[in-house]
Chains A and B, each alone.
Chain A
Amino acid sequence: MIQVIAFYLFSSIVIAAAAMVIFSRNPVHSVLWLIVAFFNAAGLMVLVGAEFIAMLLVIVYVGAVAVLFLFVVMMLDIDFAELRAGFMKNLPLGILLAIVLVCELILGLGAYQAGKVELGTPDGKAAITDQVPNIEAMGQLLYTKYVFLFEAAGLILLVAMIGAIVLTHRKTFSQRRQNIGQQVRRRPEESIRNEQPEVGQGVEI
């Protein structure tokens, strides 16, 4: 009983939040509604027993993607009134896209009704067991069978980081750092210079 109540609660909030994402006038509010939708979708995932995907939704989508959206929306000064002005102009394209999506849905449902595609039988190495929760099952695979690939994926991320630094980091010479040793060693002879410029000539600094 409680599952049914929770399901209807989560799903109705997801739909309502998704609608608010589209309808709210303030883009920051849209992103915040999107986060609400993600959280409730995570709740739905927990209900079907996919707690790993629920965690992914919260950590990746809410923690990274949505916050990134928020930053971009707040930092870029987008004139939304101007964007909306093009609404009527792009309406035919939008409708076309909607029709394509509806057709795909109908096709997909039809294919589902017709029976499934002949696929290969899984080799059983990655089969899910009911005894352990799926995060644990995934961890067992990831850190035993796939440990080599797991580490190699770590190297890929490291290369991405090195690449980002190599391509964007530059030494900024305008930065004025205080070098105390240099300041203490400084002597009058080094800092004072006698100049006798001729009339009309400048002084080199």
Chain B
Amino acid sequence: MNLASSLYFARPEIILSVAALALLMVAAWRSNASKLISMLSVAALVAAGVWSAHLMFSPSFELGGDAFDGLYRMDAFGSLSKLLIYSAAAISLIIAPRFLSNMGAMRGEYPVLVLFAVVGMGIMVSANDLLTLYIGLELNSLAAYVLASFARHDERSAEAGLKYFVLGALASGILLFGMSLIYGFAGSTDFTAIGKALSGEMGMGALFGVVFVLSGLAFKISAAPFHMWTPDVYEGAPTPVTAFFASAPKVAATALLIRVTITAFGDQTFVWQQIIMVVAIMSILIGAAGAIGQNNLKRLLAYSSINNIGFILIGLAAGTAEGVSAMLVYLAIYVAMTLGGFVCLMQLRNRDGSLREDMSDIAGLSQTRPALAAIFAIFMFSLAGIPPLFGFWGKVVVFNAAVAAGLLPLAVIGIAASVIGAFYYLKVVKVMYFDEAKDIIVVENDRSLIWTGALLAAFVSPLGYLLISPLGQLTDKAASALF
């Protein structure tokens, strides 16, 4: 592969990096242009998305291709993940400026850091080498640490950033340790070469490597038992940042996990399948049980994201193309649901303008703000997986894939646990609709929030079922690129 075609394949990352560098200059000289920079960042994301779509749909790139001497892999799987990441990032950029300026924390560096994080995610999902994986992950994480403590005069935000940084560094260390073991026992950092070297009987050292790599990645997707940081960081970070954390990086890290397990450890399915199954069940149970006692809605959504990651991992445990396709469908729906949940949270303010994020604050929301309550209820029902809503479909495809792969017990446990999870989603709805109104929530006239909320609600509403067949075709195409 020559340099020209490599650069052609990596064009989405190049577009975003150049845009981020240019916007950084704008931010440095024009201190009050943060809104303009946000909109230009969204434009850059759209441009990169158009390029990814071109790489995905153009018939000449049907088979994908390696770039930079096998470090970077361009295929339908990476392109589709990137499209998801870019949309999630664009939405979290659109909803942020007004909210952050109300907090007094909006600065031009916010969209720039988000763009750099997205570049890192793009590198992650296209990684075909342990080094690329690590560099992309660090670029994403480092930007995320800063974003978590972006509202630096807020003590909780600073705490969230510090906590995220320390634990994230620990996870990176674990991941690097595993990577060095794998490199030692496989003799290469290239995923395909590792896959070849690790076929057959696996030695103890390489097994340790696999376990450490999976642990490091499980931390990044906040799967149990590596989820401890999630509630604290999600609660402390400013809400638009939390919305970003819960959507785009989750997609990137999950896609990375899929690629590592399928490509690099593809011949060792039996080894990692058990690990993934345990992690999936633990995430579902801990996510469901942990959320029950939560009073803070952001913490509740954090546990909900742990819970959802568990369901997504069930698809990976299946280890088939069908399972991967189901994971991508679930991810797309999950991103819409979780972003929607946070968009609703961002609209909760009381009369003196301070933000509300506790369970007691939404009591009687259906009387004071019926539209917001209805939209929030749609997201909650969808997260719970109640049939007419789109969230149900995600669970169906994932469980289908698990059953087809002969993992009936796993699917049964998942379905049983989703009933536990439904309890707290329904509790939110109950508090909104059947409790006495205590605090008056004022009408927020931030149109970006209202429109994104409505749009996402339309996506997860039964209207979303119209998208089943195109979405399924896309994810099937993406999944088949890996197998």
Q: Which residues of chain A from 144 to 164 have any CB-CB distance to chain B below 8 Å in the complex? A: 145-149, 152-153, 155-156, 158-160, 162-163
Assess A120 versus B184: contact at CB under 8 Å? Given A147-B68, A155-B116, A162-B112.
yes
Q: A119-B185, A146-B71 are in contact. Are A155 and B119 (CB under 8 A)?
A: yes
| Inter-subunit contact A148/B71 (CB<8 Å) | yes
Tell me the bound Cα distance from A155 to B184 in angstroms.
28
Chain B proximity of A165: nearest CB distance (Å):
8
The reply to whether A155 and B203 contact each other, CB–CB distance below 8 Å, is: no
Contact A117 B190, beta carbon cutoff 8 Å: no
Which residues of A lie under 8 Å from residue B193 when comparing CB positions? 123
Are A162 and B24 CB-contacts (below 8 A) given A123-B187, A155-B17? yes
Known: A149-B132, A159-B143. A119 touches B184 (CB 8 A): yes
- A149-B131, A166-B107 given as contacts; is B187 within 8 A of A121 (CB)? yes
- Whether A148 and B68, one on each chain, are in contact in the complex, defined by CB atoms closer than 8 angstroms, is yes
Digitize B62-88: 1 where CB-to-A-CB distance is under 8 Å, 0 elsewhere: 000001110110000000000000000
CB-CB nearest in chain B for A119: B184
- Given the interface contacts A120-B188, A156-B139, does A162 sit within 8 Å of B71 by beta carbon? no
Beyond A149-B71, A162-B146, whether A120 also contacts B186 by CB under 8 A is yes
Q: Which residues of A contact B69 (CB under 8 A)?
A: 125, 145
B328 at the interface (CB under 8 A from A): no
**Interface positions of A (Cβ within 8 A of B):** 117-123, 125, 145-149, 152-153, 155-156, 158-160, 162-163, 165-167
A168–B139 alpha-carbon span in the complex (Å): 20
Query: Contact: B197 with A120, CB < 8 Å?
Result: yes
B113 touches A162 (CB 8 A): yes
Chain B residue nearest to A170 (CB atoms) is B152
Residue with the highest number of chain B CB atoms closer than 10 Å, among A117, A153, A159, A165: A159
Complex-state Cα separation, A117 to B69, whole angstroms: 29
Q: Which of A121, A148, A165 contacts B72 (CB 8 A)?
A: A148
B6 at interface (Cβ–Cβ under 8 A)?
yes
Chain B residues with Cβ below 8 Å from A153 are 135
Which of chain A's residues have a CB closer than 8 A to the CB of B143? 159, 163
In chain B, what residue has the closest Cβ to A165? B109
B145 within 8 A of A: yes
- Which residues in B have their C-beta under 8 angstroms from that of A163? 113, 142-143, 145-146
Chain A nearest Cβ from B453, distance in angstroms: 28
Give B452 Cβ to nearest chain A Cβ, in Å: 25
- What residues of chain A lie closer than 8 Å to B161, measured between beta carbons? 167
Complex CA gap A152/B193 in Å reads: 23
What are 21 residue pairs bridging A and B, where the CB atoms are less than 8 Å apart in the complex? A117-B205, A119-B185, A120-B183, A145-B69, A146-B71, A147-B68, A148-B68, A149-B131, A149-B132, A152-B119, A155-B116, A155-B120, A156-B135, A159-B142, A159-B143, A160-B142, A163-B145, A166-B146, A166-B152, A167-B152, A167-B161
How many Å lie between the Cα of A197 and that of B116 in the bound state?
Answer: 59
Within the assembled complex, what's the spacing in Å between the Cα atoms of A155 and B18? Answer: 11
Point out the residues of chain A lying under 8 angstroms from B119, CB to CB.
Answer: 152, 155
Minimum C-beta distance from B137 to chain A (A): 10
| CA of A88 to CA of B190, assembled, Å | 52
| B435 interface residue (CB < 8 Å to A) | no
Q: Which of B76-124 contact A (CB under 8 A)?
A: 107, 109, 112-113, 116, 119-120, 123
B138 an interface residue at 8 Å Cβ cutoff?
A: yes
**10 tightest Cβ-Cβ pairs between the two chains A and B:** A120-B187, A163-B146, A123-B188, A148-B68, A120-B186, A121-B187, A152-B135, A166-B109, A145-B69, A122-B187
Instruction: Give the chain A neighbours of B150 by CB distance below 8 A.
Output: 166
Quote the shortest CB–CB distance from B146 to chain A (angstroms). Answer: 4
Q: Contact between A149 and B135 (Cβ–Cβ < 8 Å)?
A: yes
Q: Across the interface, name the chain B residue whose C-beta is closest to A157.
A: B142
A148 lies within 8 A of B139 (CB): no
Task: Give complex CA distance A118, B71 in Å.
Answer: 26
Compute how far the CA of A143 lies from the CA of B145 in the bound complex, rounded to whole angstroms: 29
What residue of chain B has the Cβ atom nearest to residue A162's Cβ?
A: B109
B136 within 8 A of A: yes
Residues of A within 8 A of B113 (CB): 159, 162-163, 166
Q: Are A156 and B71 interface neighbours, CB within 8 A? A: no
B105, chain A: closest CB distance, angstroms: 10
User: Which chain B residue shows the least CB distance to A148?
Assistant: B68
Q: How far is the CA of A125 from the CA of B132 in the complex (A)?
A: 16
Tell me if B365 counts as interface (CB < 8 A to partner A).
no
Residue of A nearest to B134 (CB): A149
CA distance A158 to B113 in the complex (A): 10
Residues 163-201 of B contacting A (Cβ, < 8 Å): 183-188, 190, 193, 197
- Shortest CB distance B458–A (Å): 35
B149 at the interface (CB under 8 A from A): yes
The answer, among A117, A123, A159, A167, for a CB contact under 8 Å with B139, is A159
Instruction: Please give me the residue from chain A that is nearest to B13 by CB atom.
Output: A152
B264 on interface, CB distance cutoff 8 Å: no
Chain B residue, CB-CB nearest to A117:
B205
Contact B149 A167 (CB under 8 A): yes
Q: Are A122 and B116 within 8 A (Cβ)?
A: no
Cβ-neighbour of A152 out of B123, B146, B152, B203 (below 8 A): B123
List B contacts of A148 (CB < 8 A): 6, 10, 67-68, 71-72, 132
Tell me the minimal C-beta distance from B427 to chain A in angstroms. Answer: 37
Give the chain A neighbours of B67 by CB distance below 8 A. 148
Residues in A neighbouring B71, C-beta threshold 8 A = 145-146, 148-149
